Structure 1
Amino acid sequence: MLITLVGEAQHNGSDVMLENDKRSFHYTYDNDLFAGSDRYYTQGSIAEIRHPALSKWPLSKLLHRIAGGNDMTYCLSFRQDVFTPKSIRNKTLDSTDRPYAGTFFFSQKVISNWFWSKLTKSVDIGCIGPAALGEEMQKFIHKHTGNQEPIGWENQVSNSFAVNLNIWLEQGLYLSKWFDLVMEAGGKGGITNVNGAAGLMIRAGKKAEYFPGLTMPSQQKWECYATVNGTGSYVFHNAVLQGVPWKNSIYVLTRDRLVRFVYKLDAGLTFSVKDVSLTYTQSFLTPEFKGGWHHSWGGCNIVYRF
């Protein structure tokens, strides 16, 4: 199903940035406070390290066999996501709303680069439920920011081990010095998510190349560019809404309440100087369940290349 265009990568100055990205630290923090709300996907954080030494790990070797490439990047990350109903002050269950839920994952990711093409494969291993410490994280942040303590976490989705396989293809359609148009497609399969998605990404501004193999000027000393990314997903299963089949939760949504087609728009601005990049992204998501609301949140990302 995934079709890639394979070619010889031409070496130029911007390859230095691609090489540096193989040895880098990435941290992302999302919170809907940046959009003036406190509901649904309310906060999340990802810490990721990229280093060639990770190629020796068993999961990296497995992912490499799925699809190789001319240029490989190996990643290790930890991720926590927290989800709440639209009101965190209800003392009783609201049967029209979504449940509380938290997830925590250790992930290994391998990025395979070709000419004008990039394939990302990852395996997530972790948990959903109280063991993910979503309740503790939200209460800690609310306590130290002077916000009200959330009520109702005792009704969150039950504990379960979770594992997922994720595949994401990016294919350049039009790439130039100041403008990129990239097609995207992929899917997730596992305990917490089963879905497929496709979309388009636009990058515009002063930027380094996104794919290896382009004939461009030497490495940018600084970057400033905007990114707009739109995707549409078909959702077959979402455990933070439905729970897992083999565990009974106090409250979850039934399958018929899922909205199957969900659309997401991300708009971001990136500024980079030498080995440091800063990005702010605002995300917009259509309702994930019947009777649900549209949702928005902001995210900050920092990258340090070493």
Structure 2
Amino acid sequence: MPRSTHYFRIENSVKTLRFFHFFLLSYFFAALCTLSPSTLAKDTGNTHSALQAITLRIDNDIFAGSDRGYSNGINVGFLSQTVDSFQDSRLPSGYRRLNHGLRWLQPKGWDQYNMVLTVGHGIFTPGDWHTRELVKEDRPYAGVLVAGVTYNGRNENRMQSTGLSLGMVGPSALGEELQKGVHKLLGSETFRGWDNQLRDEVVFRLSTQRLRRLQFNPTGDDWQQDLILRTGGSLGNLVTDLNIGAEWRFGPELPNNFGSAPQLPASENTAPTRHMDYSRRLKLHGFIVTNIRGVLYDVTLDGNTWKNSHSVTRESLMTDLGIGVAGSYEHWRFAFAHYFRSREFEQQQEPPRLGSFSAWREF
């Protein structure tokens, strides 16, 4: 390869990386600024923030005693107030302009609405972390960095969630740097095969979910139960799949939403609600959740869409079973779940396990 061509490719890669990181930082900063009380007061004259909650979810297989497969993930979300429409004056002007351009994506015909802006990062690694060589029988190394917007609409016991995610897979997602930094901080060994990771590729995903809540004893008994049913799917070169699942919750005073388990394919449990409970009493409940997915494409298993890369033989049907506990205290909500998963690809030696923790701060 001529030296000039080599430099040209390096320069273009650096420009792409810088542009994408600038995009994500701008997105994150805009989410904070447009949901601040000062911005909302300027827009609407209201002194209250348009921000209803900030959400944080951390996934890590270390919680389940391993370090392979979906190794680590983090997701930060900014949840708006519950409003009457996506052009409601209680939303900042920047959000209303975004919503105007994404009218085709938004649920319609519901009583209550809200929206969520998210930034997420995921790291995927094979089981053999010692070797620098390509592990052909195991999944590719991959880092995924995405930003997204999700729109929710609900009636009393039904909800629709639609979303659009845009991001990057490959070295520009900084999976190698983030994992090495965390492992160095913890004093643990680093994975050595990142030279074999997926190549840079812009990824997107369109998603939709329908949910229904069945309450077994909604009259306020000391012990309550409900069952949340959901169906949906996604389309894109990040993931294309169909899913069906259910969550059974049990305990005193269950929350008025559509699920407690982290990692739900329904926008981090961000159901619109007008009646918030900020009790000073700790409230706990348990849940069991299951999800079945028919997977048509997953870039972290199938490899790059437009470039040559390592891949594995993906399983078409995948199942999750999660068991956990959730609770609330004053303005805080939290949940932890342990997930058991079926094999994701034919060469996988053992089914993966994963722990997921989520925390909310409501306003």
Band of TM-score, shorter chain: 0.7 to 0.9
Aligned residues: 281
Q: In the aligned structure 2, how far is the partner of 1:62 from the partner of 1:44?
A: 27
Q: Give yes or no for the alignment of 1:247 onto 2:294.
A: no
* TM alignment of 1:52-63, pairs within 5 A: 52=81, 53=91, 55-59=95-99, 62=102
Match of 2:239 in 1: 193
Task: Give the alignment partner of residue 37 of structure 1, picking from 66, 74, 78.
Answer: 66
Match of 1:98 in 2: 139
Match of 1:288 in 2: 344
Tell me if structure 2 keeps the 8 A contact 1:119–1:170.
yes
**CA deviation digits over 1:232-290, x for unaligned, max 9?**
110110101112321122x222xxx2111100112221121121112111112111100
State the Cα distance separating 1:22 from its structure 2 match: 6.3
Q: In the aligned structure 1, how far is the partner of 2:229 from the partner of 2:327?
A: 23
Q: Give yes or no for the alignment of 1:71 onto 2:112.
A: yes
Q: In the aligned structure 1, how far is the partner of 2:192 from the partner of 2:301?
A: 18
Match of 1:155 in 2: 196
Match of 1:27 in 2: 56
Tell me if structure 1 keeps the 8 A contact 2:132–2:195.
no
* TM alignment of 1:135-214, pairs within 5 A: 135-175=176-216, 176=218, 177=220, 178-206=224-252, 207-210=254-257
Q: In the aligned structure 1, how far is the partner of 2:322 from the partner of 2:101?
A: 32
Q: In the aligned structure 1, how far is the partner of 2:111 from the partner of 2:294?
A: 31
Tell me if structure 1 keeps the 8 A contact 2:237–2:305.
no
Tell me if structure 2 keeps the 8 A contact 1:208–1:220.
no
Q: Which has the higher contact order (CA 8 A, sep 6+)?
A: 1
Q: Which deviates further from its counterpart, 278-287 or 79-88? A: 278-287
Tell me if structure 2 keeps the 8 A contact 1:205–1:226.
yes
What letter corresponds to residue 58 of structure 1 in structure 2?
Answer: L
Match of 2:323 in 1: 267
Tell me if structure 1 keeps the 8 A contact 2:145–2:169.
yes
Match of 1:16 in 2: none
State the Cα distance separating 1:209 from its structure 2 match: 2.1
Tell me if structure 2 keeps the 8 A contact 1:22–1:74.
no
Q: In the aligned structure 2, how far is the partner of 1:274 from the partner of 1:82?
A: 33
RMSD: 2.3
What letter corresponds to residue 75 of structure 1 in structure 2?
Answer: V
Q: Which deviates further from its counterpart, 179-188 or 51-60? A: 51-60
**CA deviation digits over 1:162-184, x for unaligned, max 9?**
11101111112334341111111
Tell me if structure 2 keeps the 8 A contact 1:101–1:134.
yes
Q: In the aligned structure 1, how far is the partner of 2:201 from the partner of 2:246?
A: 34
Match of 2:175 in 1: 134
Tell me if structure 2 keeps the 8 A contact 1:63–1:109.
no
Gap change, CA 1:172 and 1:200, over 3 Å in 2: same
Q: In the aligned structure 1, how far is the partner of 2:173 from the partner of 2:132?
A: 22
**CA deviation digits over 1:124-144, x for unaligned, max 9?**
011111111111111111101
TM-score (norm 1): 0.85
Q: Give yes or no for the alignment of 1:232 onto 2:273.
A: no
Q: In the aligned structure 2, how far is the partner of 1:228 from the partner of 1:22?
A: 30
Contiguous gaps of at least 5 residues in structure 1: 1-19
Tell me if structure 1 keeps the 8 A contact 2:105–2:163.
no
Q: In the aligned structure 1, how far is the partner of 2:99 from the partner of 2:240?
A: 21
**CA deviation digits over 1:26-56, x for unaligned, max 9?**
0011111111101000000001011243641
Q: In the aligned structure 2, how far is the partner of 1:297 from the partner of 1:63?
A: 36
Q: Secondary structure at the match of 1:23?
A: strand
Q: In the aligned structure 2, how far is the partner of 1:234 from the partner of 1:258?
A: 11
More strand, by proportion: 1
TM-score (norm 2): 0.73
